[in-house]
């Protein structure tokens, strides 16, 4: 495979006709070949028309076909080999082990959803058999299943060029649900996007699926993405990115003649709570682990630990000292794009220059494309007084808020917007204090973790990568893990329908072997 700068529309690959852009080598700032001409509105029209045409066929493919398709995508991505890794490294500045790990994660995610499709409980098949002799009125035969919502628009994320881009979590869960997908590639990694897009396109053909199941559009600006969300054939949106970008898409979706759901994963500063017992016994060790988590991937994780809450004392001093020592040694790292790097520098400068903020440590200055780590402190009153201190600094910088006691810590937490994660560092003697704060934490975040950091997001059945607004646009869901498939399904009920007209999922013989509930009780199989 080679990167050709082509838009993928169904089974075709064609040069776009709009303003061209190039990827930028993250480390050097130099443009990378080839040109990517922007996709046109005619391309968008054709992609949506094909997706719409494919929908009824694709959503009714049997579980084995759909699972096989997901597995084929995974295999095709791995088959690209080193070309994908090197292109992705160049476009993102992320190191080889990270890209290789993310590639494995992407393949694993596709396979997880293959398993979800085969297992079948996401269909939520329910049967309430007729009760013809019930008085005063007989009960009809009622059967429910979930079906795919329709074609889904997916926006590639800058910070996960594989796991949350063209064939990432949103695409995998939408395809698993039975939705065709039209991806708007992130302009920071168009070459990676094209390579992965071709892997998906090949899988569509190999599995004999209608070509409209997948298309891939390019645009350095916002015109195509906005038109995609507004297109009447698009039924839902998956997005990972900035708060400004996410809320703009939410507004477009809500303002359509037929509003649609947007699943946007936006901003989070992921509070870390250091409880006294933990600090007293292992403040320095936590500080070291924290510095490692903060600088992972140049701090460009949605779950990056950007806010530390702790009570002052020798434990916190040890934490700060260890963290500062580690961060001072931590080399500046190449950031994903010049825009992200600039925004990071600006947000760090704004906080560093804040009158109530003290600089604890800064990492070594780096190249013009790099971001350096930083650690600041302030106190609870100052944090509560200025919303600027709650804004995400997307990169390897965190703010420590010294809280005089547990109630100050609670006040800061209570003041926080919705978050993806909260990390609690605790010892046995902290349990009472933790128990006291848990109800508040549950209301603020999607995932609460103990004695660790949120930067590792396991792809699993029990994962929640979500959280109350503005961490996401819709806190009722997750964008990582098997539960993510529910975002793209809706229930339909069939009443008194002859068996021969029922979808296979609800026929008496259960030809798909799905788990089903009869009168609310799991069916014996």
> Which among 209, 271, 285, 219 has a CA at the least distance from the CA of 40?
219
Catalytic residue among 194, 265, 362, 392: 265
CA separation for the pair 91, 75 (Å, rounded): 23
* Cβ 277 to its own copies shortest distance, Å: 13
Angstrom CA distances, 233 to 201, 228, 444, stand at 20, 9, 34
Pairing type for strands 236-240 and 374-379 reads unpaired
CA separation for the pair 177, 171 (Å, rounded): 10
Toward its own copies, which CB reaches closer, 287 or 466?
Answer: 466
> Which among 406, 405, 396, 346 has a CA at the least distance from the CA of 376?
396
Active site residue 302: yes
CA separation for the pair 522, 525 (Å, rounded): 9
| Helix (H/G/I), strand (E/B), else coil: 309 | strand
* Cβ 88 to its own copies shortest distance, Å: 19
Determine contact, residues 261/229, Cβ cutoff 8 Å: no
CA separation for the pair 126, 106 (Å, rounded): 32
CA separation for the pair 105, 84 (Å, rounded): 14
Is 80 exposed, middle or buried (CB count within 10 Å of its CB: 0-12, 13-18, 19+)? Answer: middle
CA separation for the pair 234, 325 (Å, rounded): 50
Residue 116 in tokens: 């979800």
Toward its own copies, which CB reaches closer, 10 or 151?
Answer: 151
* Cβ 474 to its own copies shortest distance, Å: 8
* Cβ 74 to its own copies shortest distance, Å: 18
DSSP string for residues in 56-120: HHHHTS-HHHHHHHHHHHHHHHHHHTHHHHHHHHHHH---HHHHHHHHHHHHHHHHHHHHHHHH-
Angstrom CA distances, 100 to 12, 95, 155, 457, stand at 29, 9, 22, 16
* Cβ 259 to its own copies shortest distance, Å: 6
* Cβ 135 to its own copies shortest distance, Å: 12
* Cβ 410 to its own copies shortest distance, Å: 13
Determine contact, residues 154/172, Cβ cutoff 8 Å: no
Toward its own copies, which CB reaches closer, 208 or 498?
Answer: 498
Catalytic residue among 302, 362, 402, 403: 302
Active site residue 486: no
Toward its own copies, which CB reaches closer, 177 or 203?
Answer: 177
DSSP structure class, residue 152: E
* Cβ 119 to its own copies shortest distance, Å: 7
* Cβ 175 to its own copies shortest distance, Å: 18
> Which among 361, 336, 367 has a CA at the least distance from the CA of 94?
336
Toward its own copies, which CB reaches closer, 205 or 438?
Answer: 438
Toward its own copies, which CB reaches closer, 364 or 522?
Answer: 522
Which helix or strand (DSSP H or E) is residue 202 part of? helix 190-206
Toward its own copies, which CB reaches closer, 4 or 490?
Answer: 490
| Helix (H/G/I), strand (E/B), else coil: 37 | strand
| Helix (H/G/I), strand (E/B), else coil: 286 | helix
| Helix (H/G/I), strand (E/B), else coil: 424 | strand
Q: What's the chain's Rg over C-alpha atoms?
A: 25
Toward its own copies, which CB reaches closer, 355 or 435?
Answer: 435
Determine contact, residues 338/29, Cβ cutoff 8 Å: yes
Toward its own copies, which CB reaches closer, 68 or 446?
Answer: 446
Toward its own copies, which CB reaches closer, 244 or 435?
Answer: 435
CA separation for the pair 112, 309 (Å, rounded): 36
* Cβ 442 to its own copies shortest distance, Å: 5
Active-site annotation, residues: 265, 302
């Amino acid at each position: 495979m080679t990167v050709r700068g082509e838009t993928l529309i169904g089974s075709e690959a064609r040069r776009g006709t709009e303003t061209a852009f190039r990827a930028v080598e993250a480390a050097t700032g130099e443009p990378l070949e080839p040109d990517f001409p922007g996709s046109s509105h005619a391309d968008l029209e054709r992609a949506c028309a094909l997706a719409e045409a494919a929908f009824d066929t694709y959503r009714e493919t049997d579980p084995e076909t759909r699972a096989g398709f997901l597995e084929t995508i995974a295999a095709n991505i791995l088959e690209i080999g080193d070309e994908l890794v090197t292109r992705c490294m160049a476009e993102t500045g992320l190191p080889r082990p990270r890209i290789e790990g993310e590639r494995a994660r992407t393949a694993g995610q596709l396979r997880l959803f293959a398993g979800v499709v085969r297992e079948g409980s996401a269909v939520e098949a329910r049967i309430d058999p007729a009760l013809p002799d019930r008085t005063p009125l007989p009960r009809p035969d009622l059967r429910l299943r979930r079906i795919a919502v329709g074609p889904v628009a997916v926006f590639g994320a800058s910070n996960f060029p594989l796991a949350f881009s063209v064939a990432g979590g949103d695409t995998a869960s939408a395809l698993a649900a039975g939705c065709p997908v039209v991806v708007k590639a992130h302009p920071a990694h168009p070459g990676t996007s094209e390579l992965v897009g071709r892997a998906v396109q090949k899988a569509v053909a190999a599995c004999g699926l209608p070509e409209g199941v997948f298309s891939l559009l390019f645009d350095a600006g916002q015109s195509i993405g906005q038109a995609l969300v507004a297109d009447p054939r698009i039924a839902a949106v998956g997005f990972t990115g900035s708060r400004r970008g996410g809320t703009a898409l939410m507004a477009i979706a809500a303002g359509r003649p037929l509003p649609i759901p947007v699943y946007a994963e936006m901003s989070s500063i992921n509070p870390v709570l250091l409880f006294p017992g933990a600090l007293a016994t292992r403040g320095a060790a936590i500080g070291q682990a924290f510095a490692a988590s903060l600088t992972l991937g140049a701090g460009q994780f949605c779950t990056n630990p950007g806010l530390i809450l702790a009570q002052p004392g020798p434990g916190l001093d040890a934490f700060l000292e260890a963290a500062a020592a580690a961060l001072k040694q931590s080399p500046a790292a190449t950031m994903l794009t010049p825009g992200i790097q600039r925004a990071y520098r600006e947000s760090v400068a704004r906080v560093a220059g804040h009158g109530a903020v003290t600089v604890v440590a800064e990492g070594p200055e780096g190249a013009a494309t790099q971001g350096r780590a930083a650690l600041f402190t302030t106190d609870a009153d100052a944090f509560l007084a200025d919303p600027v201190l709650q804004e995400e600094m997307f990169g390897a910088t965190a703010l420590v808020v010294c809280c005089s006691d547990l109630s100050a810590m609670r006040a800061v937490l209570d003041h926080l917007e919705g978050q993806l994660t909260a990390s609690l560092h605790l010892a046995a003697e902290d349990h009472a204090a933790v128990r006291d704060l848990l109800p508040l934490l549950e209301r603020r975040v999607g995932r609460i973790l103990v004695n660790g950091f949120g930067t590792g997001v396991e792809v699993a059945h029990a994962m929640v990568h979500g959280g109350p607004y503005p961490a996401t646009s819709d806190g009722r869901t997750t964008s990582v893990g098997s539960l993510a498939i529910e975002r793209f399904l809706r229930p339909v009920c069939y009443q008194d329908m002859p068996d021969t007209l029922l979808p296979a999922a609800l026929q008496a013989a259960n030809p798909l072997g799905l788990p089903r509930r009869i009168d609310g009780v799991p069916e014996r199989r």
